[in-house]
């Protein structure tokens, strides 16, 4: 072959190679667009702050439990995971949960731990609630629509308003929002509305600090759970006071106070802890200052044959002793504690505990021995006439007359049939603030509303009793004699503490199960309230 022919052949091979490489690159760049459906396309990698560090997560769509945590979660049974759920919050897809205690006037934000449970309290702010507590509904709701500025008919404005309760009132619903401003400008804050945060002053909305409203507006996507509790059962205190000046400064994700609290020192609440093989333990970490949040770091054990460490959880796998250590990511602080693991021995000779006539159901084993109440007993006699759950509400409303307050919202459980409704009758005598509240759901075949709940508290002018003759003022012993000792009991601490006795028409403590309920005065042990509930508006 001539030299010129060799050169030409080389050039041809080079050209063909270049064309092949270019075609391969072009094919690779367009493969997803041509052959992969939108649902199958891989997400672009983005840099995220680990949510378990209680920091801001900038891309909500990317938040999910990673593979390591998912594997770790499989180490625990469903019961053990329920025990890890320290506050009993429901689990949702959002990285955050909003928790409100009406008694303490606080709004807290919780983040997920490595198992997808809302156990990490990130921050607590003060909030205002309704002038009457019932105006701010108790229960579990969800974040809905959002407005940067909500217009209160041109008379005032509130920043970062997030709807959590779609009531058909003149305001368009109930919102979590900042203070009131004369104009949609932070410089026009109405100082009086700031000073009222932490009191009963609203029409039902949760008026909170500008920073809290902004956090929820920016960081809590639609569907984020909003749980509102009567009283203050968990007892969280606000992490700071409310200052008017703070309501004039635009919050930013970088400068939120939830990001800036770094501990100066850490320590475990216990110097040592004894476990049984198979137990899971979540150590409590104390910080200085007490409201520090960014305490995540590396957890280690000096003896993995005794205890395994998974995230913040300690899992006992063998008998003996081990030391666990936490070293923080920020500040390089350390804390250690001793773990002693023993064999679980069951004492079969011990007498069963004396529960004083009441049964508190903790798991399905207890529930199996629980004697359910007959649904025929879920009836109240008012002024001589009986009204039961799932019956038409019309006769009861006709008997009681026009309510003092009325509201309705789109039914979660029966959205295709109509609205849930609430009727409130108030009775004031000697400042005892009597209430009769009636809830309905649209389930009747003729399109009418059925009684979902009748709840009566304190003195009312109507003659009320159960079908077994229990009235307001009856003693606990009379209730137990009439309905038995199979009930659950809880003490609610609020501005007016009370004992709640619940007789279940099915598996106790389960959503949707009907029940008969009594509230008792803790001192006199006498009935000061009663109610029946069908369990139908659980959505």
Q: Please, which pLDDT band fits residue 29 given cuts at 50, 70 and 90?
A: very low
Higher-scoring residue by pLDDT: 8, 535: 535
Question: What was the pLDDT predicted at 429?
Answer: 60
Q: What is the mean pLDDT of the chain?
A: 78
Q: For 48-57, 171-180, 393-402, which range has the lowest pLDDT when averaged over its residues?
A: 48-57
Q: Are strands 272-276 and 146-151 parallel, antiparallel or unpaired?
A: unpaired
| CATH code 2.40.440.10 for 51-260 | yes
Residue 14: partners with Cβ closer than 8 Å, 6 or more residues away: none
- Residue 450, pLDDT > 60, answer yes
Least confident of 258-267, 268-277, 343-352, 529-538: 343-352
Q: Closest Cα to residue 310, out of 319, 318, 302, 301?
A: 301
Chain center to CA of 521 = 28
- Measure the CA angle with vertex 293, ends 288 and 298; round to 5°: 90
User: CA-CA distance, 520 to 502, in Å (whole number)?
Assistant: 11
Contact of 372 with 505, CB cutoff 8 Å:
yes
Structure confidence by residue, pLDDT tens digits, 43-84: 222 222 333 333 333 333 323 344 344 444 444 556 666 777
What was the pLDDT predicted at 60? 30
Instruction: Please report, for residues 130, 368, 390, the alpha-carbon distance to residue 375 in angstroms, rounded to integers and kept in the order given.
Output: 34, 18, 11
The pLDDT of residue 28: 47
Q: What is the pLDDT at residue 494?
A: 58
Place of tokens 């945590």: 69
Q: What is the pLDDT of residue 17?
A: 64
Given this model, what pLDDT does residue 215 score? 95
Q: What residues contact residue 241 under an 8 Å CB cut-off, 6+ apart? A: 126
Question: With contact defined as beta carbons under 8 Å apart, do 358 and 290 qualify?
Answer: no
253 Cβ contact partners less than 8 Å away, ≥ 6 residues apart: 56, 58, 218, 219, 259
Q: Which CATH number fits domain 265-342: 2.60.40.1080, 3.20.20.70, 2.40.30.170, 3.10.20.30?
A: 2.60.40.1080
Q: How far from 108 is each of 56, 209, 216, 230, 339, CA to CA, in Å?
A: 15, 12, 11, 14, 32
Q: Is the pLDDT reported for residue 114 higher than 60? A: yes
| This model's pTM is above 0.85 | no
According to the model, what pLDDT value does residue 538 have?
40
Return the number of other C-beta atoms located less than 10 Å from residue 362's C-beta. 14
Q: How do the domains of the chain map onto residue ranges?
A: 51-260, 265-342, 375-533
């Amino acid at each position: 072959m001539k030299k010129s022919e060799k050169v030409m052949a080389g050039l041809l091979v080079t050209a063909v190679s270049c064309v092949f490489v270019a075609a391969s690159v072009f094919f690779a760049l367009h493969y997803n667009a041509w052959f992969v459906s939108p649902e199958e396309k891989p997400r672009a990698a983005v840099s995220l702050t680990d949510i378990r560090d209680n920091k801001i997560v900038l891309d909500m769509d990317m938040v999910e439990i990673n593979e390591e945590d998912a594997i770790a979660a499989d180490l625990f049974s469903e019961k053990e995971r329920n025990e890890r759920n320290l506050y009993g919050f429901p689990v949702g897809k959002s990285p955050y949960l909003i928790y409100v205690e009406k008694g303490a006037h606080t709004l807290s934000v919780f983040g997920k731990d490595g198992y997808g449970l809302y156990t990490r309290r990130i921050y607590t702010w003060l909030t205002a609630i309704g002038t009457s507590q019932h105006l701010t509904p108790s229960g579990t709701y969800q974040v809905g629509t959002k407005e940067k500025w909500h217009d209160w008919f041109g008379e005032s404005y509130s920043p970062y308003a997030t709807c959590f309760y779609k009531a058909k009132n003149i305001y368009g619903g109930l919102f979590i929002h900042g203070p009131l401003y004369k104009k949609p400008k932070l410089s026009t804050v109405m100082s009086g509305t700031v000073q009222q945060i932490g009191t009963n002053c609203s029409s039902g909305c949760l008026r909170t600090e500008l920073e809290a409203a902004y956090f929820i507006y920016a960081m809590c996507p639609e569907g984020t759970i909003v749980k509102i509790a009567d009283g203050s059962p968990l007892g969280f205190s606000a992490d700071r006071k409310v200052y008017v000046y703070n309501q004039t400064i635009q919050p930013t994700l970088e400068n939120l106070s939830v990001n800036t609290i770094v501990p100066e020192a850490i320590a475990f609440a216990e110097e040592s802890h004894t476990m049984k093989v198979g137990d899971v333990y979540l150590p409590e970490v104390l910080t200085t200052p007490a409201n520090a949040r960014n305490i995540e770091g590396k957890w280690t054990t000096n003896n993995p044959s005794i205890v395994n460490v998974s995230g913040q959880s300690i899992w006992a796998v063998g008998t003996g002793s081990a030391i666990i250590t936490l070293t923080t990511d920020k500040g390089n602080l350390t804390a250690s504690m001793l773990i002693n693991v023993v064999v679980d021995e069951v004492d079969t000779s011990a007498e069963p505990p004396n529960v004083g006539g009441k049964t508190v159901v903790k798991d399905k084993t207890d529930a199996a021995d629980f004697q359910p109440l007959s649904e025929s007993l879920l009836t109240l006699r008012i002024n001589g006439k009986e009204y039961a759950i799932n019956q038409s509400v019309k006769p009861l409303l006709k008997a009681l007359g026009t309510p003092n307050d009325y509201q309705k919202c789109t039914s979660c459980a029966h959205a295709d049939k109509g609205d849930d409704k609430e009727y409130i009758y108030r009775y004031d005598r000697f400042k005892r603030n009597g209430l009769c509240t009636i809830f309905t759901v649209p389930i009747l075949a003729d399109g009418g509303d059925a009684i979902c709940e009748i709840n009566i508290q304190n003195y009312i002018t109507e003659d009320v009793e159960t079908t077994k003759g229990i009235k307001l003022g009856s003693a606990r012993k009379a209730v137990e004699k009439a309905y038995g000792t199979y009930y659950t009991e809880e003490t609610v601490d609020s501005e007016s503490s009370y004992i709640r006795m619940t007789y279940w028409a099915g598996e106790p403590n389960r959503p949707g199960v009907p029940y008969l309920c009594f509230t008792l005065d803790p001192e006199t042990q006498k009935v000061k309230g009663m109610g029946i509930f069908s369990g139908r508006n659980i959505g």
